[in-house]
Structure 1
Amino acid sequence: MTWAVLLALAGAFCLALGSALQERDAIRAPGASVARIGFLWHLVRRPRWLAGSLAAAAGVCLHLAALSAAPLTIVQPLGVSGLLFAIVLSALFTRRRVRLGQLLAGLAVMAGLAGLVTLFPHSADSPVLPIPVALALTGCVTAVGAAGYLAAHWLPAGARAVLLAVLGGAALGTTSALARVVAARAAADPVSVLDWLTLLAVAVAVFGGLLQQNAYRTGHFAAAYATLLVVDPVVGAGIGVLVLGERVPTTPFDQVLAAGAALLAIAGTAVLARARNRNPEALRPASSPSTDLVHTTPGESS
């Protein structure tokens, strides 16, 4: 059990390190405030961003290794400790001081999210998701995400960070739900990985990555990362309940606790979004704008 705890903490640190490294290149990329899909092609050619991606991948592997040695109810709450790691690492990389209010807000988000993942029952049944339902689900997520992406052009940086992170977290949570179905099928038949669900999962993951990196681009990293940490598992759990037939807390006491945990996480995220501790690099005009990556937007205020 001790090794599982250490693996979970190491995984959380690696995920936070990866995101903090990605933030720097997302901010420094040329162009205006909200980037198009070519933005990702720019990022994958940056060594530091790739290093951040490798660190995040290592974090996922460590998290899975921890899950193989300890219950989900222990590993998942430890995983959200990555928020504090991310706040400190981002401040370290940009030579900013970590404010006490940020740490307290981060702790509130962690406590709320840990409560949510602990209170929701975790089913071991194999999920089933027909292709028409999967197409409808991903279509809705993509349509809402695209509308929010367009609306983000006219929002100030703090609100833009939260909106894009919410939409990115929803897309990544949908990816997690699809991946759960694909993984369950692959356990019985590895060849089943090569089907439409896998293609949908990859497409939604790329779209979620675009929204995620644009959220980091605003300079409000702590708020964006906290929002992603909250929305991703909540959307994944919601799809599990509404589409895959998984369970929800059944007793009134657990339901009240789950609602309180959600409110605590949302309140902490709101505090982080309002914090005046924006990455200073995001306040500078981007150099060498590239019209094939982005277009000028009216919502440049912080």
Structure 2
Amino acid sequence: MSFARPASGDNQLTDDELAIAGSALAAILVCCLTAAGRSSGTSRALGLATATGVLFGVTAGLAKLAVGDLRDGIDGALAHWAFYAAAATGVSGFVLSQYTFRASSVLAPALAVMVALDPVIGIAIGTLWLDERIETTPIAIAGQVIALSTALTGIAILSRQWPSPLPPERRHR
């Protein structure tokens, strides 16, 4: 955060931005869920985890819009679509995460995918559609890339260190 120095953007999406974002979300979810449906075990869990991580990231972006509507009070938030969309994507992501955890006895890789995608998708939504700004000086970009790479590397390392209830000869990596 100290490198990025995010600045608040706009709490509105145009109809065109909403159509593009919604279409992109639908396409990603269809691809992930189709791949998961055609797989089993860890591959299925990773497909479901990808869809879950995307939904969690989208929920973060929608929550920003919904919270922005609170300036007009609770009635203002309840009268706007973002509140309901955030609730729907949040609940969908939670339910999908439960299917993810049941898809395989190896949980760490799936959890790593969800944890990694959530902030990446949230940042993408903020910068692409909500006009949030991050610092773009060379040193700031380098710091952001190093910080994100470090976080993702840590997640990847931890995901390979999972405890498995299966004996070593039955584990699939």
TM-score category, normalised to shorter length? 0.7 to 0.9
Are the equivalent residues in 2 in contact too, given 1:123–1:246 (CA < 8 A)?
Answer: yes
Task: Give the one of 116, 127, 139 matched to 1:230.
Answer: 116
Identical columns (%) = 27
Paired residue for 1:193? 77
User: Which of 246, 254, 257 is 2:143 aligned to?
Assistant: 257
- Match of residue 216, structure 1, among 94, 97, 101: 101
| Per-residue Cα deviation, 1:27-74 (whole angstroms, up to 9, x for no partner) | xxxxxxxxxxxxxxxxxxxxxxxxxxxxxxxxxxxxxxxxxxxxxxxx
1-structure distance, mates of 2:9, 2:38: 44
d(CA) in 2 for partners of 1:191 and 1:234?
A: 31
SS in 1 for 2:157: helix
Amino acid at match of 1:198: F
SS for the counterpart of 1:119 is coil
Q: State how 1:36-55 maps to structure 2 within 5 Å.
A: none
Between the aligned partners of 2:139 and 2:70, the Cα distance in structure 1 is 37
| Count, aligned residues | 166
Q: CA deviation at 1:155?
A: 3.9
1:127 corresponds to which residue? 11
CA-CA distance at 1:275 after TM superposition: 4.1
Match of 2:30, as an amino acid?
A: A
The two structures, once aligned, show a CA RMSD in angstroms of 2.6
- Would you say the 8 A contact 2:66–2:82 is kept in 1? yes
Instruction: Check conservation: 1:158, 1:274, Cα contact below 8 A.
Output: no
| Cα distance in 2, alignment partners of residues 118 and 214 from structure 1 | 36
Instruction: Confirm or deny that 1:207 pairs with 2:70.
Output: no
The aligned counterpart of 1:164 is 48
Shift of residue 276 of structure 1?
5.8
Structure 2 residue runs without a partner (length 5+): 167-171
Q: Give the structure 2 partner of residue 40 of structure 1.
A: none
Q: Pick closer, same or farther for the CA change 1:119–1:139 going to 2, 3 Å.
A: same
